[in-house]
Amino acid sequence: MSINTIRFLLQLKNASLAQNEFISIKHNRRYINLLKILYQEGFIQSFRIETDLKTKNKTIIIILRYYSNKPVFSSLKLISTPSLINYISLKNLYKLSDKKFVFFLSTGKGLLTSIECKQHKIGGKLLFVC
């Protein structure tokens, strides 16, 4: 996982802990796939890309989600960093409990959740847990 992706996830967590309704970040194509998966799993309410007409800079506006006034990203934990990469096999993936946390993995098929990895019967690089 790149350092920019780690910073992006930490920005989401910090904004969520500060009870912000939304966060605005610079546009990056790598973030779009991650945001789509976070949206599908219910960790964010929505996101949109806005373009400034004068400077033609793009920004991503992310609307954060809260359950019972508690931040969803409070339990975010980074597993793999650029200096420490953790891989998990399919056999060990079945040993993890999906009831409390959602595990996100980087695989040959792209960024997937642990449930999707079990459906495709593949393992991968364990990125982070929410």
> Is CATH 3.30.1370.30 correct for 3-73?
yes
Q: Is 93 exposed, middle or buried (0-12, 13-18, 19+ CB in 10 A)?
A: buried
Pairing of strands 110-113, 44-51: unpaired
Q: What is the pLDDT of residue 67?
A: 87
Alpha-helix runs per DSSP H in 27-74: 29-40
d(CA 44, CA 63): 6
Distance CA 71, CA 17 (A): 6
| Location of each CATH 3.30.1370.30 domain in the chain | 3-73
Block means of pLDDT (10 residues each) for the chain, 130 residues, are 88 92 91 92 92 89 90 86 89 80 87 90 90
**In sequence order, what are the residues at sequence separation of 6 or more whose Cβ sits closer than 8 angstroms to the Cβ of residue 65?**
42, 43, 44, 45, 72
CATH code of domain 79-129? 3.30.1490.10
pTM for the full predicted model: 0.86
Residue 71: its pLDDT value, please?
86
